[in-house]
Structure 1
Amino acid sequence: MTSQQPVIVIGAGPIGLAAAAHMLEYGLEPLVLESGEHAGAAISQWGHIQLFSPWRYNIDAACRRLLEETDWQEPNPGILPTGAQLVEEYLKPIAAANTLDPRIRYRTRVVSVLRRQDSFLVRTETDGEVLDFQASAVIDASGTWHTPNPLGAGGLPAAGENDDALAPHLLGPLPDVLGADRHRVAGRRALVVGSGHSAVNTLLNLVALRREVPSTSIQWAIRSADPQRSYGGEDRDGLPERGALGTQLRQSVEAGQIELLTSAEVQALESVDGDLEASFQDGRGLRVDALAAATGFRPDLEILRGLRLELDPTVEAPVRLAPLIDPAVHSCGTVRAHGAAELAHPEEGFFIVGMKSYGRAPTFLMATGYEQVRSVAAYLAGADASPRDLNLPATGVCSAG
């Protein structure tokens, strides 16, 4: 590393800010580049959703130490925050801290990262202006929110999925059906496609809406033949609130509040007489008014095309991390602590961390990401980067069943 150049962190979410806080403690100089208007901007887009992990798992140690130097009041560790509360009560106060605030640039979208001899060149766009930054190392904590998986098989869009004429029917991955999107689904036919945590949240919110507006119709389509993966650990879950979600979902299906379609892989979408018609691979068809594509997310690797990466071809995670997070084997809580060694690439000094490091695996917990960046910061500072054990709750909707 060269002392004249900062370590650039891409993204001012919980993991990016934690990376910056740990680097400050190790005597490194971070520069955080955030595409949004404020810290946690992507989380604000699903601010109505309640996290399934309480505050005790969501606060990074270095960030807490930084906040203790301010007038910040730590939330009750047993309370489950919403996304909006995570941003307002934790991320924005971190970003506003005197030691971190001048080291964050907002409305700065990274468009490419390149190696230039002994440093990195990070090209950005800010309000239409192209700016280049030099960095001694780069930590990509940009997350996956802006790159949702398509509906079709094999990671491809379903036929017609990108047709602009369908836009009025498409709700996105985590619609606010009890708030901003209520008028689009109340008393209408809604289809949720997907089996993960996003799907569970949307389905249960639709059930709550149906209690207020009984004419609301809810269909749920999953690719598998068995919904048990979505029900998760239920009363065996180390996070009771997460387990309760699975139980509520199962009970809603059994009570007939949700119509479940199994082995339902979307083949095509089409606008027909003002309706959205979804066609499945087995020949079934379904007409609805609105569709929520809760099919998960994938990492945006386009900005990293100029770097030498080693990614697992299936999970799209770093090759040494992929076996540790394989959703066919692990839930959120059974992923062991890992750090710089597992996240390293042939491009020395470059790391993907946080949700993006997990590729397509839905097994990520913030506490795991905090240990990732502590280890990476230690490595860059020449300190002991060995990962420290984490006491994480096991089982849940993020497992493969």
Structure 2
Amino acid sequence: MDEGLPVVVIGAGPVGLAAAAELVGRDLPVVVLERGDRAGAAVSEWGHVRLFSMWRDLVAPAAEKLLTAAGWTRPADGGYPTGAEWVDSYLAPLAAALGGRVRFGAEVTGVSRLGRDRVVDSGRAEQPFTVRVRTSGGEERLLARAVMDASGTWGSPNPAGGDGLPALGEADAAGRVSYRVPDTADPAGRARHAGRTTAVVGRGHSALTALVALAALAEEVPGTRAVWVLRRGAVGDAFGGGAADRLAGRGALGLRARAAVEAGHIEVVTGFRTAEVRPDGDRLVLVDDGGRALEPVDEVVALTGFRPDLSFLSEVRLGLDAALQAPVELAPLIDPNVHSCGTVYPHGAAELSHPEEGFFLAGMKSYGRAPTFLALTGFEQVRSIAAHLAGDREAAARVELTLPETGVCGGAGLFDDPGATKAGADGCCGPAPEAERPSPAAAGAGLLTVSPLPLLTAAPTASAGGGCCGGGDSPRPARAADPDRLP
């Protein structure tokens, strides 16, 4: 294979651009292909939402180095940007610093090996990748030595239906069903929800953000109501870790949502798995799989997570977990059906590899259907992948960050187990042994630095019985970290 060929990165979002910066730092040619017309096009769509990660955790180290050389001034570490501010103050300048390496309006429609379909073994590894691209000028084909798909999952939201399929009638009600956090400051968004009843389906940070926004609107506009529809039998740990969360903004969000529920602005419905969205005049009625029907609502906001779009990767030999659609080596570390501890173990090229050598999923898309992700995780992923592609195996295997604890036990996949959100003093939410605790700097402000503590170089072993972190005989007990953004 021609080593002079570029690495193709799909997606000019936070992780895709960080990948390009890492590759540039290693003098590897790179082309970034972005379907949208700007850097961070998907982030711009939730630009009204404020992140609960501070600026200190939202700038990739390699990107900062590239930007600083271009005269960029880093925002103050302690600020919490909105999505729009993240784009304007960081992603757009980063794309500008990368220059012609980033192509906008370039949609990837297929990836394969040159002259080899998915079935052919002979000579496969020696052939470069071929990347099919659709632009305003027509179709073209790019050759690449490696491909990193960092296109995210924003375009593939999960439906309201409790079985993973759209509920009956959900598609027909598309004009009154949304899959995005409402912007109640925008006149159109405000008009859609003010003085009306909105059902919010979901329990993650996106749902909490929507509930807080609707509760604030209810204080301003009489008649505004929110109904929180949960599949679990109880609210449980949906409000998060509060003061125990090492990301203060993330903890504060849960506290605000709890206060809104306690103030009576939000009606809570539990144990409800939507099976049908039934029209009722100008309103909608949600019906669960047992036939229970809720009172009519005006709008439905389904915030039930995302799933990866794998349609354009049909000719690539992927090694994906059957449940999560995440790389098989990564899946055990993030599976919400198993893990219930505070963070995912940092990982890189080894866990993100596939049978197709030289192809990697990175960023949100690497998590498949696992519910939560931090930008810090993506920055570490692409640092390791870039080192691997440069032949620096030692750097690729090295772990260079720790992640903030949520302060919560209970994996998202354990919603049918009423005891899954609790842990005793000796459980995974109990205090870590002294040697395994990060220093105050690592726990608070040093999230991108290398720590000498064992926590960053070797994970604690599982207890004999597996514990709440166990997951069989996996040496890396972990749970998926929570997302930076609230949508």
For Structure 1 versus Structure 2, the TM-score category normalised by the shorter chain is over 0.9
Residues 399 and 88 of structure 1, relative CA distance in 2, 3 Å threshold: farther
Answer with 124-133 or 141-150: which moved more. 124-133
2:371 corresponds to: 362
Segments ≥4 residues shifted beyond 3 Å? 328-333, 396-401
1:330–1:363 Cα contact (<8 Å) kept = no
2:440 corresponds to: none
Sequence identity of aligned pairs in percent? 52
Cα-to-partner distance string for 1:63-102 (whole Å, 9 max, x where unaligned):
00001012322111111111111100000000011xx111
Letter in 1 for 2:258: R
Is the aligned partner of 1:177 residue 2:184?
Answer: yes
Letter in 1 for 2:220: E
2:104 corresponds to: 106
1:336–1:389 Cα contact (<8 Å) kept = no
Aligned residue runs from structure 1 range 140-179, under 5 A: 140-163=149-172, 166-179=173-186
2:346–2:402 Cα contact (<8 Å) kept = no
Letter in 1 for 2:109: V
Number of residue pairs the alignment of both structures matches: 397
**Which of these two proteins has the greater Rg computed from alpha carbons?**
2
Say which of 120, 124, 132 aligns to 2:141.
132
Residues 332 and 61 of structure 1, relative CA distance in 2, 3 Å threshold: farther
Taking the aligned partners of 1:129 and 1:197, their CA distance within structure 2 comes to: 40
Aligned residue runs from structure 1 range 2-401, under 5 A: 2-97=2-97, 100-116=98-114, 117=124, 118-127=127-136, 129-163=138-172, 166-179=173-186, 180-286=188-294, 287-330=296-339, 334-383=343-392, 384=394, 385-395=396-406, 400=412, 401=421
Residues 299 and 59 of structure 1, relative CA distance in 2, 3 Å threshold: same
Letter in 2 for 1:355: M
Cα-to-partner distance string for 1:230-250 (whole Å, 9 max, x where unaligned):
211111111111111111112
- SS across alignment from 2:152: coil
- SS across alignment from 1:181: helix
Taking the aligned partners of 2:136 and 2:14, their CA distance within structure 1 comes to: 24
Letter in 2 for 1:112: G
The CA deviation at 1:330 is: 4.8
- SS across alignment from 2:332: helix
Which structure 2 segments of 5+ residues have no match? 115-123, 413-420, 422-487
Answer with 331-340 or 375-384: which moved more. 331-340
Cα-to-partner distance string for 1:179-203 (whole Å, 9 max, x where unaligned):
2411100000111000111111111
TM-score scaled by structure 2? 0.79
Which structure 1 segments of 5+ residues have no match? none
Answer with 178-187 or 191-200: which moved more. 178-187
RMSD value, Cα: 1.6
The CA deviation at 1:128 is: 6.3
Cα-to-partner distance string for 1:84-122 (whole Å, 9 max, x where unaligned):
11100000000011xx11111101111111122411111
The CA deviation at 1:365 is: 0.5
The CA deviation at 1:399 is: 5.5
Taking the aligned partners of 2:159 and 2:178, their CA distance within structure 1 comes to: 13
TM-score scaled by structure 1? 0.95
Taking the aligned partners of 1:332 and 1:88, their CA distance within structure 2 comes to: 35
- SS across alignment from 1:131: strand
- SS across alignment from 1:124: strand
